[in-house]
Amino acid sequence: MSNSGNRPFLQRAAPGVLSLAPYEPGKPVSELAREYGLSDIIKLASNESPLGPGPTARRYARAACDELGRYPDGSAFELREALAERHGVDPAAITLGNGSNDILDLVARVFLGPGRNAVVSRHAFAIYALVSRAVGAECRVAAARPADGVQPFGHDVDGMLERVDADTGVVFVANPNNPTGTRIDEGELRRLLDGVPPQTVVLLDEAYFEYVDDTAYPDGSTWLAHHPNLVVTRTFSKAHGLAALRAGYGLSDPALADLLNRVRQPFNMNHVAQTAALGSLQDDAHVARAVGLNRAGLEQLGRGLDTLGVRWIPSVANFLCVEVGDGARVYRALLREGVIVRPMGGYELPGYVRVTTGLEHENARFLEALGRVLQG
C-alpha cells in the first residue's frame, strides 16, 4: 500500500477493510451545482420517494425537535410496539437500524468472519459484499439470470444454492433486487429457504416491499415462524419518504434478534427518526399515494423509453435499469443536462444507467434529456 512506510498503522488495518472500495452513493444536487454551475437540477439517482414524508410524519418530526437535547430512547419502545402490532410479531423480534443498511452490517458482524462465507447474487446491492468482506469473510457471487430470460439479471436460486456450503454464514437476497428491479416469487423463495442449512442465516432485503403489486410476490415477514434462520429487513427510506432520517428495521426470531441487539450501537436510531417513523406508520394513505405515483411513473418511463427505442428491465420497484450502450458516458452527458441518474458499471452492468421514478415533469425531463444525449 502506498505511503505505508510513513504511516505504519496502515499495516495494522484489517485485511478485509484494505480490500474494500468505499460505497459511492448517488451524486448530491449540491455537488452537481458546484461542479457545473447549474441551478435547475433533478435527482433521479437514489430511489427516493419524490413525495418525501407525509404530513403526519412531518408533524411528528417537528415536535421531536423540541427534545434534541436528550438522548433518544435506546430501545425505541413506542416504535417497536407499533412495528410489532403492524407485523403481528413479538417486539423482541425487532432490531432497529440507522436505515436497513445498519441491519445488514449487524448480521455480517454476528454471523460472518474469517473462515466463513456469504453468498450473494451478481448485480445485487453492493452493500452485501462490502459488509461481508469488511469482517474478513469470503463473498461468493452466484451468476445471475441471463439478460434475455425471465427476470433479466435477477437472482438465480439454483446458482445461489450451489455456492452454499457448511461454512456459509449468510445468504443475502434482495426482493425486489436493486439495481435490476427484478423479484423472486413465492415458490423460488421457499425453495431457497428450504435448501440452505439451518445454521445459515438468510437475509431477505425487502426495502422496496411497498411498491410491489404482484400476487406471486411473498411477504417475508409472514414466514418468520417457520424459518428461525430468516431475517427480513424493511426501511422507511423508500415509500415512506424518510431517506434523510435513516430509519430501518429487521424482523427475525427473537433469539436471532437478541444476538443482533448485542452488537447494535447504543442510540443507533435517533429521536427524530424514531418519532417520524412512528408518525408515518399512522399515515397509510400517504404511502398509498407514493405507491400510486410510482406505478404511474413506471408506466410513463416505460412508454417514453419504448418511443426512444431503448431497452429496459421490467421493474417492480421504484426505478428502471435502462440499457444505453455506454452507461458512464450517458451518465456524464445527463449531468450536463442537469439530470442525475446512476451509472451501473459498479454493478457489472456498464451498458446501463438506473433511473428512479420521479414526479411526472421530472420523468418527462429525463426522457427528453436522454433523447438528446442518445442522438448526440
pLDDT the model gives residue 287:
97
Bridge partners, 117 (sequence order): 138, 168
Tell me: the pLDDT tens digits for 193-248?
A: 999 999 999 999 999 999 999 888 999 999 999 999 999 999 999 999 999 999 99
Residue 14 lies in a domain: no
Indicate which CATH number applies to the domain containing 367.
3.90.1150.10
Domain that holds residue 304: 22-52+285-375
pLDDT digits (tens, 9 = 90+) for 362-373: 999 999 999 999
The pLDDT, as a whole number, for residue 28 is 87
Residues 48 and 60 in one domain: no
Domain membership of residue 9 (yes or no) is no
Whether 166 and 73 map to the same domain: the answer is yes
In a domain, residue 128? The reply is: yes
DSSP single-letter state for residue 373: H
263 and 318 assigned to the same domain: no
- Domain termination site, one of 230, 254, 280: 280
Q: Count structural domains, the chain.
A: 2
- Looking at the structure, do residues 252 and 356 belong to the same domain, yes or no? no
Positive or negative, the Cα torsion across 350, 352, 357, 359?
positive
> What are the DSSP calls for 147-208, one per residue?
TTSSSTT---HHHHHHH--TTEEEEEEESS-TTT-----HHHHHHHHHHS-TTSEEEEE-TT
Establish if 223 belongs to a structural domain.
Answer: yes
pLDDT at 23 over 90: no
pLDDT in tens, 302-329: 999 999 999 999 999 999 999 999 999 9
Q: Are residues 128 and 193 in the same domain?
A: yes
What mean pLDDT value characterizes the chain?
A: 94
Both 115 and 249 in a single domain?
Answer: yes
Instruction: Provide Rg for the chain, Cα atoms.
Output: 21
Instruction: Confirm if 239 and 49 have CB atoms less than 8 A apart.
Output: yes
| Same-domain status, 292 and 270 | no
Residue 5: its pLDDT value, please? Answer: 67
Last residue of a domain, one of 224, 253, 280: 280
pLDDT digits (tens, 9 = 90+) for 140-169: 999 999 988 889 999 999 999 999 999 999
Q: What integer pLDDT is reported at residue 4 of this predicted model?
A: 59
Instruction: Please indicate, yes or no, if residue 121 is contained in any of the structural domains.
Output: yes
* Of 262, 280, 298, the domain-final residue: 280
**Band of pLDDT at residue 1, cut at 50, 70 and 90:** very low
